Amino acid sequence: MQLDIVVGFFILGAFAQLVRSDLRLPESLYKSCVIFLLLAIGLKGGAALSKSPITTLLPQSMAVVAFGALLPLVAFPILRYIGRWSRIDAAATAAHYGSVSVATYAVAIALLESRGVDYEAYFPLFVALLEVPAIIIGILLAGTAATSSGGASRGADWGKIIREIFLNQGVLLLLGGIAIGAWAGDRTVSVMPFFGDLFHGVLALFLLEMGRVAAERLPTIRRQGAFLLSFGVLMPLLGAAGGAALAGLLGLSPGGIVLLAVLGSSASYIAVPAAMAVALPQANASLSITLSLAITFPFNVLVAIPAYLALVQHWS
Amino acid sequence: MTKAQLLFGMAVGTAVAALGITLNAAEITGNALAGTGLLVLLVNSAYWALERRAARPAAPAGATVRDGVA
């Protein structure tokens, strides 16, 4: 099991933080990397989408949305009844685990491409689709508690929540990239020297900062106890098993099985926190972001993704 | 840390370690998974032990074995 070269940058960033180096990507560069990655993934997926028949995509998309809605329902009881978390914290964190991390997805496609493994190129559509259902399920799961404490769902400013879900930077850029790619089709070739060839380099820079940010949250894990670690390792494996099983049922390629496993395995730390801050402001955001960013993301990047690929390659 | 959380952590650690070892046996590299499972087991045990030690009542100053303080 060989790690992709970009993972080395993640480890370097984490190391720099642990030894208290002053290494830090400028905020504007980090944001530029995020914009680049989202547009690059969206454009590539959109171009592939223009060549894919709707009769194939529609049932697959519906199955993926149902899968995204199911994941928080698995996470919630574990957090609520074993972790003894409050209903709102459990619901908010469950929503993070039902949604996806674009960075984890980017690492997975970098690994697949470096190994020459083919996958369904319209996968970014699934990434975008998986952002939404978990947020709604999370808000519904928190419903009772939020209402009783005068929280979001009493007034349920759904307009604001839906605006946050669909118009946050991450989803807007991803959907925008997909739309432009689908509209332009083969004409995306003209921008691909920039968005295609530089993808791995920009991902490496992005992961350098992610490694630092993940390591920065280690003290929070120490304070919160061992349950965070246990949950942060179990949930990705459950999500990956579900994703791989669904991909098998949908008849996806080996690369597609790895990618749907990765999407099930990953937890959001950009789109969902923004939506939860609006919908469930009482939720402890530090808990869910620490779990998804400092435990599940490194676990996926360092351990799980190479294992999923090795497993799928072994079986196929 | 509750007993249910300890048992949950031990079950997760054992399952992940077993998965890694099984992958190794099938000649798929599962060392990292096995290592993660062991880490989960170790961290849960350490937290449980530390919390039990912290929960033990401290002996009053000057107390001796004759006073019933071990």
Global pTM value = 0.86
Domain span including residue B41? 3-56
With residue A310 as reference, give the H or E element that holds it.
Answer: helix A305-315
Position with higher pLDDT, A272 vs A299: A299
Q: Which token pair is B69?
A: 């303080």
Q: What is the CATH number of the domain that holds A140?
A: 1.20.1530.20
B4, B27, B36: residue with CB nearest A233:
B36
Span A46-55, mean pLDDT?
85
Mean pLDDT rounded to a whole number for chain A: 88
Residues in chain A within 8 Å Cβ distance of B26: 314
Q: Does B41 touch chain A (CB under 8 A)?
A: no
Indicate whether A18 belongs to any domain. no
pLDDT of residue A156 exceeding 60, the answer is no
Residue-wise DSSP of A18-46 = HTT------HHHHHHHHHHHHHHHHHHHH
Q: Which of A7, A82, A229, A302 to mutate to test the interface with B (most CBs of B within 10 A)?
A: A229
Scanning every residue of chain A, which has its alpha carbon at the shortest distance from the alpha carbon of B11? A230
pLDDT at A2: 66
Specify the range with the lowest mean pLDDT, choosing from A34-43, A58-67, A85-94, A300-309. A34-43
Cβ contacts of B50 within 8 Å, gap of 6 or more: none
DSSP A167: H
| pLDDT given at position A252 | 94
Q: Report yes or no: B17 at the A interface, CB cutoff 8 Å.
A: no
* Encoded amino acid at B58, one letter: A
The neighbour count for residue A61, using CB atoms within 10 Å, is: 16
For B21-33, b/e burial (b = at least 16 CB within 10 A) is: eebeeeebebebb
| A148: pLDDT strictly greater than 70 | no
Q: How far is CA B44 from CA A52, B11, B19, B31, in A?
A: 48, 10, 18, 20
According to the model, what pLDDT value does residue A255 have? 95
Residue at A115 is within a domain: yes
CB A229 to CB B43 under 8 A?
A: yes
Q: Is residue A19 part of a domain?
A: no
Residue B28 to residue A310, Cβ atoms within 8 A: yes
Is B5 an interface residue toward A (CB < 8 Å)?
yes
In chain B, how many domains are there? 1
* Residue-level pLDDT at B62: 67
Say what the pLDDT of residue B33 is: 94
Residue B51 has pLDDT above 90, yes or no: no
The whole-number pLDDT of residue A268 equals 86
Residue A179 confidence (pLDDT): 92
* CB-defined contacts A:B, below 8 A: 73
| Position with higher pLDDT, A149 vs A159 | A159
Please check whether residue B68 lies inside any domain of the structure.
Answer: no
Check residue A154 and give its pLDDT.
Answer: 53
Whether pLDDT at A74 is above 90:
yes
3-state class (DSSP) for residue A54: helix
Instruction: Write the residue in B9, B13, B23 that is nearest to A227 by C-beta.
Output: B9
Instruction: Answer yes or no: is pLDDT of A234 > 60.
Output: yes
pLDDT-based confidence at residue A210 (cuts at 50, 70, 90): confident
pLDDT, one tens digit per residue, over A118-144 is: 999 889 989 888 888 898 899 889 875
Report if residue B36 sits inside a domain: yes
| Residue type for position A285 | A
The answer, yes or no, to whether residue A219 has pLDDT greater than 90, is no
How many domains, chain A? 1
Q: Which residues of A touch B40 (CB under 8 A)?
A: 226, 229-230, 233
Both tokens of A216, joined, read 């920065």
pLDDT tier for residue B67 given thresholds of 50, 70 and 90:
low
| Residue in B closest to A303 by C-alpha | B32
Query: How close does chain B come to A217, measured CA to CA in Å?
Result: 17
Phi-psi region of A252 (alpha: psi -120 to 50; beta: other; left: phi over 0): beta
In a domain? residue B69: no
Region A76-83 average pLDDT: 94
User: Residue A176's CB: how many other CB atoms inside 10 A?
Assistant: 15
> Domain range spanning residue A203?
5-11+26-315
- Which letter does DSSP use for residue A189 in this model? G
What pLDDT shows up at residue A224?
Answer: 72
The distance of B23 to chain A (nearest Cα, Å) reads 8
The partner residue sitting opposite A299, judged by closest CB among B6, B13, B36, is: B36
Interface-testing mutation among B28, B47, B50, B52, with chain A (most A C-beta atoms within 10 A): B28
